[in-house]
Every structure is written in structure tokens, then in C-alpha cells.
Amino acid sequence: MQEIIKKQGVITIKADLGLIGLAVMGENLVLNMENHGFTVAVHNRTPEKIDQLLQGRGAGKNIIGAYTIEELASQLKTPRKVMLMVKAGEPVDLFIERLLEVLEPGDIIIDGGNSLYSDTIRRTKLLEDRGLFYVGAGVSGGEEGALTGPSIMPGGSKEAWPHIQTIFQAIAAQVDGEPCCEWIGSDGSGHYVKMVHNGIEYADMQLIGEAYFLMKHLLGFNAEEMQEVFEEWNQGELDSYLIEITGHILGKVDQDTGQPLLELVGDGAGQKGTGKWTSQEALDLGVAAPTIAEGVFARIISGAYDQRELAAKAFPFKTPQVDLDPAEFVEAVRQALFASKICAYSQGFDLLAQASKEYDWNLNLGEIAKLWRGGCIIRAQFLQHITDAYDQNPDLENLLLAPYFQETLKGNQESWRKVVALAVEQGLPVPGFASALAYFDSIRHPYLWTNLVQAQRDYFGAHTYSRRDRPGAFHTQWQLGDKVVTSDEV
């Protein structure tokens, strides 16, 4: 795939793609592309990182160093394709500004970082107005995925897709002979889908954390015992990357102390913002995504050390006193985890469905689930059931209603309730399990308490309410009691 240009006796090899940003993700993506036969030109703000790559992992490979943006542009085949793998936010705009000085109409900029979808919408417009093309590509899989095959979710200027499709689909993870990379839609859709992927990831991690926490406190299991449980779970319907790595983590022993390393890890969980964005977006679009939001809130609470310290003194935690059959309880937790996971994914896909309408993206939800089967952090067998559900009914109102998920939830709900009830009784927080259960119970209940909310709103704000027994909008002067109540059609 090398294009060799001979000019005045000097041979120049032109690169298939230029990549800016040689941190964890960028460097591994470059090596992945090179492994698949592509020549890559690389640039980084700090030039030492270019040398480190060329003299280290990239030595002797088809990787060309570019120490300036001008140099980078001159090293690329046309139309030029430049991929940014830099920190989301201002650095992306700075590089776009610089690239616009050296690129030409028809050239393509791809942002592979975790950019906010609304920034991608803005940048796509900016580039298209100048006759260039822009792609916002969500990339998932972390360091290892970037090297061996990530899940890639590209969206933006459709005209760019034929020029980058071969490279992206070659380097992506492959499942059943299909690449985990397909065109998502226009402007910010690729980054939006990646954002929701990450939101679901927050919920998935939260739920697994709760399962671990319950076994630790209610069964008194040690790390080794829990490692066995997770290994076993990974053989069944919970089979997924996150369950697999949890088993590995539980098996890790600290060299210095001989203790399970996990029990030495501080419990203040960090975050980079995509879970928060997903939750904010759910609120903006009026989509209920409580289990995803709980994943974010739980991390926030975990980091509130000062408040936690004071509260732990004020309300001391009592060691649970329960007598449980370990095998039975482990199975109940597994069922609760799976049911909660279904709810979290239902919330994420509901958000995608609403966003598709709101932003006119025409998202193919079954195809998106397919892209997540390999390469990414939430990769799981289970995603095939989501693809099947949307294949059978592309207009599915909510994933919970698909036959496979209905059956699973009906089968698991008894254990789910028992696990949540026991946790609450014993003072163990399970915001993921509990919020998923509340979501499930709310969505299936035929007549919610929100009739009272409507009445209260009408009482203090004359916001009107609807009636179940007749059409129209009504307002009542509630405070006047039985005597003078009026219900006026408004």
C-alpha cells in the first residue's frame, strides 16, 4: 500500500494516513495500522514522543515521523487523511486550526478521541463549509484494543467513508468475520454512540461492583472465592470482557504484602466525563436512564472522602449478620446482576432511539449492538440478543419488551427483589441494582403515583391535569374543599 514518489532522484514514501497524538491510544493505533500493511505518518505536540516511537516499538516499521504539521501534510497521499488522537476539547480545535492551514478541499480530518458530540457537529460544519470532510469516530477498547482491534464508531461527512473504510475496518476487531466498525451516520452521531457506550460501561461496572460488594459483605467471601465465581459467571450468559477482567483483578496478589491487591486499592473512583455527558443528555432528551446516572453518582460519592469520613462516624456501619446458603445467594446475585444489566442497556438504547429522532440520524440500533460485540469495553455475548431483538422488530419501543429479555426478567425478578431487599435491610448500598429494579417496576406499573404529582402541580401552579375518565385538560381549585371545587376545561 505504499505510494512511492520519485522526484529529482529522491524517493519519498507517501503515507496512507497521518496520526496526531502519540499517547496510549494513538501509538497503539499506529502500530495496529502498520501491522495491517498501512504506512502511517505521525506527529505529536511534544516531539520527543515521535522519536521514542520511531526508535522504540515503531523501529524498522512503515512509520514516518513528522515534526511539523506542514511536514505531515506533505507526507500524505491525497486525499489526505489525518486522524487526531489527542485529549478531547481545546487540543482538537487547536490542531484543526493548524491543519486547515495546510490541508486542501477534499482532505479528511478524523477525530478518534472522546469528543463531545456537539463539538463534532460544530467541527463537521466548519470543515464542510471549507470543502473538507470531518469524521468523529468513537474508538473503544483501551490500550489493548487499539493495538489488536478496537470497536470503531465513525460518523460525520459521509463522503469521507469510502476513503477510510478499508483502513478502519481492517484494524477493527472482527467478530464472526465481520468488522466491529461500520458507518454510523451524519455529524456527531459516531461520538454520540461512543458516549452512550461509555454511559452503559459506567452502569455495567457499577453493577459488577455491587455484586462483588454483596458477596464480600453478606457471604464473607475472600478474593479467591469471588474470583472463582466471576470465572464461572464468565462461562454463562454474563460472559463479557468486564466480568472476565474482574476475575483477573480478584486473582491478583500484591507482591509486597501477599494480600489480594484489590483490597489495597483506594475506593475513590475517577471519571473522565462521558458517563456524565450521557446522563445529562438523557435528561435533556427526557429519557429515563437512572442506572447509568447512578453509575456516575456512585463514583462522585466514592470520592467525597471528607463527607464519607464524618458520616461513617455519625452512622457506623454494622457488620451484617445473615445466614445464607452461599451457592443459592451467589446465583441470586447473578440473576439480579443480569436483570439490572438488561435495564441499563434498555436505558442506553432508549437514549440512542430518542437521539436518532431528535438529531435525524436514522441510527441502526441492531447494527450498533453488533459493533460492540468485539473490541470494546462492554463487549459481551449478550449484545447478540440486542441485535436479534432489533432485527426482529426495528421499531421496538424498549428492549425490555423483546421476547428474550422479557423471559429473562420474568425468570430473574424474584431473586432480584430478594437481593435488593436484603442489601437495603443490611445497610449495603446497591444503587445500580435498586435503580434498575425501580425502573423496571415503574415502567410496568399500570397506574403510578404521578397522578398525585400532577394534582400537586395543579394545586400550586395551575399547571392543569388530564383525567382518566374523559378527554381534556383540567384545573381544580383544590384548596376549597368539597364545597366549591370546580373542574374547568382549559
Residues that bind ligand NBP (CB under 6 A): 21-26, 44-46, 49, 85-88, 91, 94, 113-114, 139-140, 142-143
Amino acid letter, 70: E
Q: Which helix (H) or strand (E) holds 174?
A: strand 174-175
**Residue located via cell numbers 454474563:** 238
Q: Phi and psi at residue 347, in whole multiples of 5°? A: -65, -45
- Using DSSP's 3-state secondary structure scheme, residue 76 falls into strand
Interatomic CA distance for residues 350 and 397, integer angstroms:
8
Give backbone dihedrals phi and psi of 166, rounded to 5 degrees, phi first: -60, -45
* 3-state secondary structure (DSSP) of residue 466: coil
Smallest CA-to-CA distance from 49 within 85, 13, 12 is with 85
Q: How far is the CB of 50 from ligand NBP (least distance, A)?
A: 10
Q: Which of 194, 276, 341, 370 is catalytic?
A: 194
For the question of residue 201 being annotated catalytic, the response is: yes
Classified as helix, coil or strand, 339 is: helix
Give the residue with the Cβ less far from ligand NBP, 89 or 429.
Answer: 89
Nearer to ligand NBP, 120 or 346 (CB): 120
Q: Give the residue with the Cβ less far from ligand NBP, 114 or 347.
A: 114
Nearest residue (CB) to ligand NBP, 142 versus 251: 142
How far is residue 287 from each of residues 67, 346, 439, measured CA to CA in Å? Answer: 46, 11, 12
Question: Is 61 an active-site residue?
Answer: no
Q: Output the residue with the shortest Cβ distance to ligand NBP.
A: 113
Q: Which of 27, 34, 182, 201 is catalytic?
A: 201
Grid coordinates 430518542 are at which residue?
Answer: 354
Residues facing 12 on adjacent strands:
5
Nearest CA-CA partner of 478 in 468, 469, 470, 488: 488
Q: Which is nearer to ligand NBP, 368 or 430 (CB)?
A: 368
- Residue carrying C-alpha cell 472465592: 225
First-to-last C-alpha distance (Å) of the chain:
71
Residue among 113, 67, 68, 66 at smallest CA distance from 86: 113
Q: Would you say 204 or 458 has its CB closer to ligand NBP?
A: 204
CB 98, min distance to ligand NBP, A: 10
Q: How far is the CB of 231 from ligand NBP (least distance, A)?
A: 25
* Residues with a known catalytic role: 194, 201
